[in-house]
A and B are shown apart, each in its own frame.
Chain A
Amino acid sequence: MNIFATEFILGHLNYWLFIILMMTGLYIVISKGNLVKKIVGLNIFQTSVFMFYISMGKVSGGTAPIFPLDGVYDPSIAYSNPLPHVLILTAIVVGIATTSLGLALIIRIREEYHSIEEEHITILEDTVFQTENLPLDGKGGSI
């Protein structure tokens, strides 16, 4: 298998796109300090998986998997596999729920911290953490 062959690259086009999207999404999640941008990255990441599933169900030359109205089934017609599409409907719903919950959390974070930038929040938290974790006085607590 020559992974540089044009045939290979074009033949797996949907996977390339899937990987590019996935990495873009993950990169945004990791690198961006803005919480909303993190959620956007997460969305892109999830969408890539939706694309992956949807393209997986494609059967070459297949048509939309809709049962003929007249009820006569023609075995010569190839249909795409509908199951991954159905699955991904569920995943989309989950994705929407996650996004909305994430955004709701961001609103609450902004109320409490007056910022949605990770570095500001971290500084605030670190100062609290350090004052909390001062050593105990000498009465038995120290090890």
Chain B
Amino acid sequence: MDTFSAILLSMLLPAAAVISNLIFRNNPNLRDGLTLGAAVATFLVVLNILNNVGNTTTDTFTLIEVMPGLGIAFHVEPLGLMFAILASGLWIVTHIYGIGYMRGNNEENHARFFACFSFAIFAVMGIAFAANMFTLFLFYEVLTLSTYPLVAHKGTLAAVKGARTYLGILIGTSIGLQLVAIIWTYAVAGTLDFTKGGVLEGMIAGPAVAILLALYAFGIGKAALMPFHRWLPAAMVAPTPVSALLHAVAVVKAGVFTMLKVGIYIFGIDFLATTGASIWLMWLAAFSIIASSVIALTKDNLKARLAYSTISQLSYITLGIALATSMGILGGSLHVVMHAMGKITLFMCAGSIYVATHKTDISQMTGLGRIMPITFGAFLIGALSIIGLPPLGGSWSKWLLIIGAADASQLVMVGILLISSLLNVAYLLPLVGKGFFLKGHDQTEQPNVAESPLLVWAPPAFTALGCIVLFFYAGHIQAFLMPIVAAP
């Protein structure tokens, strides 16, 4: 199978899953089985691409030429491939989890839910393999629109309001700022192709660089850079599988992935470093990291706390780009994987607790650890990975980011990364402590509380193991990503 057909196939399979979900909407087992098949097949196709291409950058395949020099085009490069593997692999896990969650929780409209879910994966694949900013933007918007029904899924007034915030901020920033940035780039550089070393060098100078970067940084609302972060907590009204895959992995990672792409292939690291246009972004990211960690501390709702934690962790990646050093970029890219694995574990655990006990607030979860040891064990591992303790994957990306900050002689940033780790400890570990060591106060009221169903507790346990495995394979991923920072 040649690479181009493989790319198309990796997008067609989720698209086919959308259709099969709509056709077989009244036959749950067949419907969910077919989607699972599509998820596994997508993952295999992406692995096949990895096998054929490795970490080289392939030629660009233009599907449709929309305007002169501007078309729907795809290629494979290490960063995108990594993102595709991550999303398609975790899709399998989340789908299994989603089946268990939706059935265990008696949610409605399963077919619409899974159809939109698959549609979102389709968009993510398009983002991962996009060869130019135009294609990426197209799929970026498809992702926004396809996840909107998922956020509004419950149809309650709260869900509708949350979905409104979600859509308002994401569409608002992308059309209001990002689109202007893209067209501006096109107007000055004449191209939007992702090119090593960037396309803007020599085309634009002075304060315009910083303004353009600002349009991108705020325009990519999915990266949840403050002050455009409100959509992420708002999206927590969605069912937990959505929060797990989309708002811990696919959507937010699509955001920072776009940031990485823009930083590496549109601006170019060297161009950013020499112009110093990203200094302000670095400070803003640092502020985002600390501020959202502090807000997370104040949240009692578990999912809201995790959402603010995500905002903070996303800013790590933005910080990596803003440092404009090779190590910073590498650390940021690696953090995409590490944080995804850790955060999806935490969200699935939150969902697992909800399925078993219908509890959403941390203060009510005392003593649950003894009843649900696997869920709370997985939560502990995920939390430690987010904090960045060995032997868990998250430690490597933080390590690289700190080196990156030191490389850029930004010692303040080193300090911020360390303080933030402490804050992570403060907002993540209390739940584990309460769960395992405090005695529950209302167990008498709910004597039938037990560990959640197999389909709900197994996926987080699996991804928790993944966090450990990633610790030992981080070197491979780093080596795999090396070409993106190598000199063009």
Contact = CB atoms under 8 A, between A and B. Distances in A.
B487 interface: no
A138 B157 CA distance: 9
A11 interface: no
Dominant secondary structure of chain B at its interface with chain A: helix
Nearest to B157: A140
Range class of the B interface residue count: under 10
Contacts of A138: 157
Contacts, number: 3
B176 to A, nearest CB: 19
Contacts of A140: 157, 160
A141 to B, nearest CB: 10
A140 B163 CA distance: 12
Interface string A106-143: 00000000000000000000000000000000101000
Contacts of B157: 138, 140
A140 B160 CA distance: 8
A128 B157 CA distance: 31
Nearest to B160: A140
Nearest to A139: B157
A43 B78 CA distance: 76
Interface string A64-75: 000000000000
Contacts of B160: 140
A138 to B, nearest CB: 8
B339 to A, nearest CB: 35
A138 B160 CA distance: 12
Interface in B140-195: 157, 160
Nearest to B152: A140
Nearest to B155: A140
B372 to A, nearest CB: 36
B154 to A, nearest CB: 12
B108 to A, nearest CB: 16
A55 B251 CA distance: 73
A85 B157 CA distance: 69
Interface of B: 157, 160
Which A-B residue pairs are the 3 nearest by beta carbons?
A140-B160, A140-B157, A138-B157
Interface of A: 138, 140
3 contacts: A138-B157, A140-B157, A140-B160
